[in-house]
Structure 1
Amino acid sequence: MSAPEHHTDVAADEVTRIHPRSVLGRLPRYAAGKPPEAIEGLASFKLSSNENPLPPLPAVLEAIAGQTAVNRYPDPMTTTLRAELGAFLAVPSEDIVTGAGSLGALNQILAAFAGQNDFDAPDEVIYPWRSFEAYPICVGLAGAMSVQVPLLPDSAHDLDAMAAAITDRTRVILLCTPNNPTGPALTEPEVRNFIDRVPRNVVIVLDEAYVEFVRKPDAVEGLQLYRDYHNVIVLRTFSKAHGLAGLRVGYSISQPVLTQHLRVSATPFAVSQIAEHAAVTSLRHIDEVRERVQSIVDERTRVVSGLRKLGWRIPEAEGNFIWLALGEDTPEFAALAEQQALSVRAFGVEGIRVSIGEPEANSRFLELCAGYTKGPGTS
């Protein structure tokens, strides 16, 4: 069989006439966490993507192994999962809209509430920065304009500045708690105070992708805010605590005044039947999930304590990761980690996010830090 022909007969000037939307040239590229380098004599560990280092529960693996009807489309309403979630969270299942991970659910929110309207200037979406690196991409692709509000010196949201940034074009505000990649979680009183300053026609999204790892006593409870405010949407995922990142199951929770629109913008068949079955099974074994989450929290406590004993200054850590504000030393530290078969997530010359991984990986990371003389707060 001959090799396929390339379309070399297309004139160069014809090719140059094809242009993507202009916004693509202005958007950052999403940089997924890199896998670790193979170093002889060392086990490699990926600490760059905030993944759960543990595989799904045995019951989950057993349950999805028998799923064979992948020639059929999944239930577009994910009825079983929403019913299970509704019972688990004590919310009406009608208030839940699923998506392909929390990122997919976020895209559905932006598609419904923020973008380029007929003959008008683009809507504005306010969010903290630095925060989840997909935010500017999602907002830009939706046709809206990003309004990035710098974090406070302690790496937490500057809610006063975010409130001051609201204009008559603001349609959506994103709150990431705990904030990825820096770690601090918002408190209930400060978020309620913030919401009271936001016009009721502006949608407020609480991105709680890491909520299961939060141990802060006065941390905000998104579910209570959703019950109390019609313009609040809670965003959650099965990727982190449940260890189902590869199956892409996320969801949003909001009152009917919002879900009626989210169902229109929802991507059909976004959650496969295998993913739905895995999520349902994991929820039915929630005690085992919580035990695993606590083991990760315990490791996080050990890493944070170890760093502080070394004199390192790090922000509050409420997710399954920590933030090292290394500034100009970021590339150097990332390279040293790579030499130790550890992949970490470097953000330019701002800092490094390190996921909490296997105990051996965490210990090796602490050993690396113990020999590094430029840690935040040590100079």
Structure 2
Amino acid sequence: MAYMHRSSLDSLPGYKQGRPAPVTPGLNPYKISSNENPYPPLESVRRAVADRALVHLNRYPDMRGTALVERLARLHQVEPENIQLGCGSTEVITQLVNLVAGEGDEVIYPWRSFEAYPIIVTGAGATCVPVPLNAEGRHDIDAMIAALTDRTRLVIVNNPNNPTGTSVSTDEALRLLEAVPEDVLVLFDEAYFQFNDDPDQAMGLQLRQEHPNAVVARTFSKAYGLAGLRIGYAVAPAEVVQGLGKVALPFGVSDVAQTAAMVSLDVTDQLQERVDGIVRERAKVVTALEGQGWRIPCSRANYVWLPLGQATDPAYEQFQAQGLSVRAFSGEGIRITIGEAEANDRVIRVCASLRDQGLAR
């Protein structure tokens, strides 16, 4: 049916969710396509959801998320007025783009990076300014600075970068912040920061102490294992948070999600053990792949990137055949989430086979 709509959206690809694990006879299937935590929420989190949240399903949640906002403010040593909740950090980013950018405005972001960026920016009616990564799969800070114009309304830093896993250093972030006008916001999208063991990593919360135009987006989906509950947050100037509230989805963050996030903040030691375990598994996978001859970016997240180029699609089929659902970007490469030990071992075996076929780059 023909209908009146914004033609600028016609060529925009929709967001593609990671596929479920394929069913392969004789093999346990593993979904390692969405950077999810392979472990379920801790028992204390599940119990709190059942005891304290499910009984209120007939009531609207606290739209401001007051208790969680105050808790996050104490954690990050800011005021509650500096915290904004959202349905995952993706919604917070959407709020921010909708707040600052519209027709004729530009949003700069690295590319390839989080595939929702062009969708969010185009959805706001603004112009995408994707800046290609460098040869190492890292942000090209000089090119991002060169892309600044008087129409720039937001600059996005994805740290670690999804899907390459590379980290942005403090010096790089400072160089960018010093080049961006003070009235233009710089978003540090830190969905995977808990896995970032780079001692030189840029930390948005520290940078905003001297650069008030820095905004930080974080999520409970990855390290905390709450992807199914959709909850994230931003740390930003109070004036920005006020604006975010105006474009936020009313009652978007459920009481269940708020409760789970609150309890998760009480068990950070146990969650850190899980993060440490994933980082160790990442090191095992990276060491094995490099030993096979793969040249891969240095990952500081819970995934690794195989730059396969035109070999991406046939390589993807071989992962599928082995019961592994990975995230393929046709013509570019494959992102593989660090999952259970058995899944990681199977990834190593598939990569060895691909290497024997001459596909390693």
Q: TM-score range by the shorter chain?
A: over 0.9
Aligned letter for 1:47?
Answer: I
User: Residue 342 in 1 paired to residue 342 in 2?
Assistant: no
Q: Following the alignment from structure 2 to structure 1, what is the Cα–Cα distance between the partners of residues 354 and 113?
A: 26
Q: In the alignment, what sits opposite 2:66?
A: 79
User: Residue 112 in 1 paired to residue 96 in 2?
Assistant: no
Q: Following the alignment from structure 1 to structure 2, what is the Cα–Cα distance between the partners of residues 256 and 229?
A: 14
Long gaps (5+) in structure 2: none
Deviation at 1:224, TM superposition (A): 0.7
Q: In the alignment, what sits opposite 1:88?
A: 75
Structure 1 or 2, whichever has the larger Rg, is: 1
In structure 2, the residue corresponding to 1:174 is in which secondary structure? strand
Is contact 1:230–1:257 with CA below 8 Å preserved after alignment? no
Q: Following the alignment from structure 2 to structure 1, what is the Cα–Cα distance between the partners of residues 166 and 130?
A: 18
Is contact 1:204–1:231 with CA below 8 Å preserved after alignment? yes
Match of 1:30 among 15, 19, 24: 15
Q: Following the alignment from structure 1 to structure 2, what is the Cα–Cα distance between the partners of residues 185 and 270?
A: 31
Q: Following the alignment from structure 1 to structure 2, what is the Cα–Cα distance between the partners of residues 51 and 130?
A: 20
In structure 2, the residue corresponding to 1:103 is in which secondary structure? helix
Is contact 1:231–1:258 with CA below 8 Å preserved after alignment? no
Deviation at 1:258, TM superposition (A): 1.9
Q: Following the alignment from structure 1 to structure 2, what is the Cα–Cα distance between the partners of residues 210 and 363?
A: 23
What does 1:123-202 correspond to in 2, within 5 Å? 123-202=105-184
Aligned letter for 1:226?
Answer: R
User: Residue 376 in 1 paired to residue 360 in 2?
Assistant: yes
- CA-to-aligned-CA distance 1:80-121 (integer Å, 9 cap, x gap): 1111111222222220000000000001101111112xxxxx
Q: Following the alignment from structure 2 to structure 1, what is the Cα–Cα distance between the partners of residues 249 and 77?
A: 25
Deviation at 1:375, TM superposition (A): 3.9
Aligned letter for 2:111?
Answer: W
Q: Following the alignment from structure 2 to structure 1, what is the Cα–Cα distance between the partners of residues 27 and 347?
A: 13
Q: In the alignment, what sits opposite 1:326?
A: 308
Q: Following the alignment from structure 1 to structure 2, what is the Cα–Cα distance between the partners of residues 68 and 20?
A: 42
In structure 1, the residue corresponding to 2:108 is in which secondary structure? strand
Q: Following the alignment from structure 1 to structure 2, what is the Cα–Cα distance between the partners of residues 346 and 154?
A: 19
Q: Which moved more, 1:276-285 or 1:254-263?
A: 254-263
Deviation at 1:175, TM superposition (A): 0.6
Aligned letter for 1:74?
Answer: P
Q: Following the alignment from structure 1 to structure 2, what is the Cα–Cα distance between the partners of residues 102 and 127?
A: 16
Is contact 2:354–2:360 with CA below 8 Å preserved after alignment? no
Aligned letter for 2:158?
Answer: C
Q: Following the alignment from structure 2 to structure 1, what is the Cα–Cα distance between the partners of residues 346 and 109?
A: 35
Percent of counterpart pairs with the same letter? 46
Q: In the alignment, what sits opposite 2:338?
A: 356
Q: In the alignment, what sits opposite 1:119?
A: none
Long gaps (5+) in structure 1: 1-14, 117-121
Aligned letter for 1:103?
Answer: T
Q: Following the alignment from structure 2 to structure 1, what is the Cα–Cα distance between the partners of residues 157 and 164?
A: 13
In structure 2, the residue corresponding to 1:313 is in which secondary structure? coil
Q: What is the TM-score with the length of structure 1 in the denominator?
A: 0.93
In structure 2, the residue corresponding to 1:372 is in which secondary structure? helix
Is contact 1:226–1:253 with CA below 8 Å preserved after alignment? no
Aligned letter for 2:68?
Answer: L
- CA-to-aligned-CA distance 1:16-71 (integer Å, 9 cap, x gap): 3x222212202122111101211111000001000000001110011101221111
Q: In the alignment, what sits opposite 1:103?
A: 90
Q: In the alignment, what sits opposite 2:276?
A: 294
User: Residue 51 in 1 paired to residue 42 in 2?
Assistant: no
Aligned letter for 1:163?
Answer: I
Match of 1:210 among 168, 185, 192: 192
Q: Following the alignment from structure 2 to structure 1, what is the Cα–Cα distance between the partners of residues 241 and 110?
A: 25
In structure 2, the residue corresponding to 1:262 is in which secondary structure? helix
Is contact 1:131–1:176 with CA below 8 Å preserved after alignment? yes
- CA-to-aligned-CA distance 1:126-185 (integer Å, 9 cap, x gap): 001100001000000011000011110000001100110111110001110000001101
Deviation at 1:257, TM superposition (A): 3.2
Q: In the alignment, what sits opposite 2:292?
A: 310
User: C-alpha root-mean-square deviation of aligned residues, in Å?
Assistant: 1.0
Q: Following the alignment from structure 1 to structure 2, what is the Cα–Cα distance between the partners of residues 85 and 154?
A: 35
Q: In the alignment, what sits opposite 1:4?
A: none
Q: Following the alignment from structure 1 to structure 2, what is the Cα–Cα distance between the partners of residues 71 and 146?
A: 41
Q: In the alignment, what sits opposite 1:366?
A: 348
- CA-to-aligned-CA distance 1:341-370 (integer Å, 9 cap, x gap): 001000011000000000000000101111
Is contact 1:314–1:376 with CA below 8 Å preserved after alignment? no
